Every structure is written in C-alpha cells, then in structure tokens.
Structure 1
C-alpha cells in the first residue's frame, strides 16, 4: 500500500522515496492522496505523487471497496452521493461516515481528487488542449476544471502544463499515449499469457509482448494497445473517436491489468501457505486479471462450461464474425467489436454450430443480461452476484465464480480449482481470487500461442447431432 507523507511545516505531501528529509515530528501519513489533500496539503513538485497508483487498502470493508469501484466507473460524474448510497442500500450520511472512517475523505472528495490527478497526468503527458483535458478527465465544464485544479494543485491548468518536464511528454503517431503506474512488482509475462490464452479472436490479440483490442465508445470503434513500460508503469496507446470520458477508459484498462491492486496484504497472508506460498514466490506480483467487457468475459465463461479452451476460442470467433460489428482498416487480426447482449440474444446460435446445450444456455443468458444489466453489476456483493448468476438456467457455481473473479471480487473462487490440492480453500479467505489465479497460471505452463493465430480445431455441431 502506498503511504503518503505530509509535512505540517511546509503543507506538502510526498510519495515514498522522495528526497525530502523532514523531521519525523513534523510528518503525518496518509494512505490516500485524496486524504492528504482534504487535510489541506498539496502535492510535492519534486516527487509528483499524482503520478503513482494510489489503491484503496485491500483490507477496507467490502461496502467501501464496492463504493470506490462504482466511483471509479463514473457513478459521481453526474450522480450524487445520495444516488450512490441508494445503489448500495445505504443512507448518504452512513456512506460518508464509512468513507471518513476508512479513507479520510467523502465520496465526492475522492472522485474530485481522482479526476484532478488524471487531468494533471494528461497535462504532463499529452498535447491535448486544456478543454479536451477537462472533459477527458470527467469534469462537467472548463470552469469547474480550473477551480478544482487550483484547489488541489494551487495553480491553473495552463500554469501546470508550463511546469511539465521535457521527458514527460509522450508522442504518438496518431492517438494518445499514457503511463499506467503501478507499485512494483508486476508479473507482466504471466498476465499476458493468461490474457493471450483467453483472447477473443477478432477483438483481442497478443503479439510480440503487446496486448491490443477493439472497444466501443457510444457505438463508435476505438483501439487500445498496452505494453510493458518501465519498472513501475505500463504504456497505453489509445486510438479513440473522441476524448470525452477518457478517464474511464484508462481506469478500465488499469483494471484489466490490476495496476491499482494492493497485493501486499493478500501476498503476506498467503506467503506461508504450503500450496499457494510457493506459487507466489515463483510469480511475485501476479495480479488478478480484470475484464474490459463484463459481458464478454461472461460469454467466455459460459462457453467454457462445455468445451475445452481450443474449441471455446473457435466458438468465440464464430460468434464475433456472425454478430459483432465489423471494424475495417486494422491490422494484427483485429476485425470486429464484441457483440452486445441484445445482439447476441437476437442471434440464432444453433446456426453457428454451437452444441445445443451451450447454445440454449448462452442464448438465455444473453437475453437475461439484455433485459437486466444489473445481472452483471460490479457493485453487487460476491454473494449477490454469484446468486443472480446461478439463478440463470445452465450457469454453474464455478462459472459464476469465474465471472466474479474477473469482475474484481477478491474472494471469488471456482471450487473445482482445489480438486488437485490437499488444502481446504476456506483457509485462503478473504484472498481466494489471488489463490485462484496462481493455481490457474501454474496449471498452464509455457507461453500461450498468439491470440490471433492457432485458434485450434473445432468441428461445429449441427442441429440434432
């Protein structure tokens, strides 16, 4: 967990490793930059704490973690604390009390701080105009943007851009480049192999150490590329139809690679376990991969109930070719956007050659998601989410937990993963998702085939066979 140090005599807060050497009696510590700012401190100009990942403590209460994830997803961009509380079955007063107790800030203060920090990174890294930066960071107006930046950084956006260092500016041949900071270590190779083995043909590819995928923003296509950067960051290339709401694109990418994860408590709790401990030692910094598209991951999990990996890849390719929206002019095997639940619900899956049981289960599932998007609501508790999924015809408990794991629930655990161990997985609570990802990657040795090739052999099932 990143701990920020604030010096009461200067009014400045710093990240770990800053060269400043204040007297210990003058230092206060904060787990969140937003908390330091709410207490009246401003960011250090030397170490620039806004450039590092500042995850919420992994041992914070589940309600707080769920609320933070909803804020990251944009719940307070135009919504209110009252609406956020209602979504979590809490009064606004109780929600603010929980945030003050565990994070030191209100939900609105956390949201404003995240927007301001993201905007400051854009001012450093990109050549976007001040107005574009404002809307990319989720501010409602340039006036609001100017006011918040002065509150957090004690300077206007124009003044902040003038202060950027020559090495900060990132130049892309079209699109935009951003750093995705993380607290080392991060096991890039294992993450990439996991994503490569599960990449959706036509939508995702992994080649030469670069993850690429198509995305849809308000119905328009974009492309994202992520690759290894420095020892404390990945690099994101974004080719998008517009920059408004870019902050949420970047947050979703960060979730896929787990760059904001606080691994320390989970790894410490599991380090001495006879099964998981050696796996952590072999792959230090392995994160639980998240999901860009929740429905996309759910479809892959449903298909995996009845077919081996190679067949699932080919089935996904057939689904995308039949129901996905074509995207022209891209290379590297990217050809389509993943179909929406509504589109897939209206597609005759039997004509694609899927096994009859699989086709019926997937069609019913897509219809249910199209009718009720909250079925895959990341703000639900683990029990609520898995319970809703298991209520759908043909969805097993293992599949429900696979989906929950990719949605970021730290205690999600597909039970069959423990079949080859002699340890009761209950002992891994509340960090069973990290245990699960280590078990999965350990069972998949070697580098996976490139995601845009070697789809495997699959003979489509015909109706009635």
Structure 2
C-alpha cells in the first residue's frame, strides 16, 4: 500500500515519488493521509497526496475492515463512534484503540479526512458549486465543510478551487465525471472481465472496456459508467437525480471495482506458490470485485444472470433512453418478495436482514467472495476444480479469495 512521508521541518506530507528530498532524520512515515493530518501535517501542493487512493492494509483485523466499510457507507455522517462501536459489538474506546494501532487515526478522523479528500478532488475535477461539493462529499453544512478544508488543507474551498491546474478539470457533455484513484498495480482489463462474467442483462453491460449499470438513488433511477483513465485512476461518469451524498455512490463504485483494498500481503504470499505464482506474476494488478447490492448478486448466483435479467425487465423500474442495452434498475428485495417467483423466499429473507441460504456450497462461497471475505473458495465450481488440478488449496489460506479470482481468469 502507499506510504506517506511527512517532513518535520516543513510540516508537509507527500506521496511516494514526490520530488522533495528531505533529510532522512527529518522524515516520519504514515500509512494513512488522515494519520499524517491528525499529527499536524498538511498535504504537499506539488504531489497532491489527496489524489492517491487510500487503502486499508489487507492484514488489518476484520473488525477494523468492517468499521471502515461502515464509515465508507456513511455511518458516521449521522452517527458517532459510540454507535459505531455498538454496531460492531465493542466499546468506542476499544474501537479507537484498534484504529490507532492499525491505521494511526481514530474513526472520526478517518471519516473526516475521506470527506475532505473527496471534496478536494471534486473542486479540481468538476465545476459544481462549492455548496454542491460540500453536500456531495457528505458534509452536513457549509460551516462544517469550510472548517474541515481549512484544518486539513490550510485554505478555504474557494482558494483551493482557484489553485486547480489547467488539466484538472474534466469536461463533460453530460453527467458528472470524476477520477477514481487506485494504487498501482491495478488491472482494469481483468476487472472488467470479471464484472462482465456475471453481468445482468438490462441492468449491467460491458462494452469496449467500459462497465455501465443502472442504479437507484433515493427512489430515482440513474446510471454510472466506469472506464480507463490514466496510470493511477479510472474515470467515472455519473448520471444521477441529485449530487447530494455522491461520495457514497463513488465509494460503492470503488468497492465494486476493487480499488478500495490493495491486497499487498496476499499478492506477495501467493506469488511464491508453484501454481498461483505464475498467475500473480502475469497479472499482479488483479483485485477482487465487489457488489453494488448483495441482493442483486445473490439473485444472480441463485438463478443465473440471464434469468435475473428477465426478473429485472418484469419487476424493475424502467430507465428509457439509455444505450448499451441498459433498460431497467434491478428490483429491490421488497419488490421481489411480493411476487410468486422462485426467488421470493430469498428476497423475503434478505429484506428481513438475513443472510441468503444457498444449498450449493459453491454458490455460498461465490457470494462470500463478492461480499469481501478473504478466504472464500468455491472448490466445487467446475472452473475452479479444473484450474486447481492436483494442488492443495489449503496452502493458500487465508488468501483463497484472491487465489479464486486468479484461477477464474486463467481459464
């Protein structure tokens, strides 16, 4: 993962590759920009570390990873650390201690830094008004937004926008275009291939190296498009009913395409394996794709993408006028629970907050894989079974999810 260097004599922190050459004895390192900021350092104006993907170490404890995902989903927009700890079954004090030990920052500081960094990128990338940027980034008020930007970047949002470079602004002939940063190596062709394997017709499409899908945002339909951008970012184009809370839409996109977790340790350990080593060496930027909604993926696994597409066409909200075969938003669990379809029981269970019960072990493992489990392994899947051959998958623990993805791509 990215390590940030902070210079005691200047009070500035930088990302790797910055041209600054401080004396080694004056340098501190941080794994999270939020940790550097909490220690009193400000972002370098030359290398702009807020434009680098911030990832959580893949060896971090499960409870920290779960907390981070809740924060990314907006839990601390309205809640507090006490509520977050209660949700995870631990005290806020214990949770803060775990965050400090593994991320160097408290949950509140992590959330605040994420919002500020997202807003800073939006000030660069878009022409949205400063008020729209504030609410798109999840701030509750302009006063809160201005205070956070002054604390972290030592300037007002208006001053920060005035500093953007000529090539920062992303011109758009429709929708909102944003950069989605990632930490290299990242293999977009591999990821778009994985997303295309389970794409639900009418809801998702993969055409010419771009992934597109319909979404529902606060009861109104929208569409997102993800495609290649540069050496350190993808480009996201969003057509949404409003911009408030866009940070959470972009965070879900990041999880969907696997840029929010760089599997450094998993990749390093699997690279030494006789079977997986050549696959990892050939495609070191492979990540694990996530989900847009767990229910949609569960239905796709249960009945197959084609049948899931038929359900979307019958029960989903139509979205007219789109290209690339997109026609409907996938129906919610509440909607399908009221139908006579075979997936109605699955829908009722998931609408009630229960985990889906798959009779097939391979289906259970594929679902766990997409939901972010580190060690999911669908051993009975014919494609996996053929790729494994005589190898013993037990030696790939606890990183069998990444092993599974490499094996699927090797077929």
CA offsets, 1:261-284, max 9 Å, x none?
Answer: 212211110001112112112222
CA change 1:139–1:433 in 2 (3 A) is: same
How many angstroms apart in 2 are the aligned matches of 1:190 and 1:57? 22
- 1:371: Cα distance to partner? 2.0
* 1:35-74 to 2 correspondences below 5 Å: 35-74=35-74
Matched with 1:343 is 335
Tell whether 2:210 aligns with 1:242: no
Tell whether 2:403 aligns with 1:412: no
Tell whether 2:152 aligns with 1:171: no
SS in structure 2 at match of 1:9: coil
Q: Specify which of 372, 381, 403 is matched with residue 367 of structure 2.
A: 403
Tell whether 2:254 aligns with 1:254: yes
- 1:248: Cα distance to partner? 0.6
Matched with 1:232 is 232
How many angstroms apart in 2 are the aligned matches of 1:89 and 1:209? 42
SS in structure 1 at match of 2:339: coil
SS in structure 2 at match of 1:237: strand
How many angstroms apart in 2 are the aligned matches of 1:47 and 1:399? 44
Q: Specify which of 377, 402, 423 is matched with residue 391 of structure 2.
A: 423
Matched with 1:124 is 124
Preserved CA contact (<8 Å) 1:214 1:222: yes
Matched with 2:146 is 146
How many angstroms apart in 1 are the aligned matches of 2:104 and 2:20? 24
CA change 1:76–1:395 in 2 (3 A) is: farther
SS in structure 1 at match of 2:326: coil
Structure 2: gaps (5+ residues): none
SS in structure 1 at match of 2:310: helix
Structure 1: gaps (5+ residues): 304-311, 350-358, 376-387, 444-465
* 1:291-310 to 2 correspondences below 5 Å: 291-303=291-303
Tell whether 2:27 aligns with 1:27: yes
Matched with 1:371 is 352
- 1:363: Cα distance to partner? 2.0
How many angstroms apart in 1 are the aligned matches of 2:108 and 2:376? 29
Matched with 1:192 is 192
Alpha-carbon RMSD: 1.2
Q: Which moved more, 1:9-18 or 1:413-422?
A: 413-422
TM-score after normalising by structure 2:
0.97
Q: Which moved more, 1:135-144 or 1:261-270?
A: 261-270
- 1:313: Cα distance to partner? 3.3
CA offsets, 1:33-52, max 9 Å, x none?
Answer: 00000000000000000000
SS in structure 1 at match of 2:280: helix
Q: Which moved more, 1:271-280 or 1:418-427?
A: 418-427
Q: Greater relative contact order: 1 or 2 (C-alpha under 8 angstroms, separation 6 or more)?
A: 1
- 1:395: Cα distance to partner? 3.3
Preserved CA contact (<8 Å) 2:57 2:263: no
Preserved CA contact (<8 Å) 2:361 2:380: no
Q: Specify which of 432, 445, 450 is matched with residue 400 of structure 2.
A: 432
| Count of matched residue pairs | 407
How many angstroms apart in 1 are the aligned matches of 2:259 and 2:305? 27
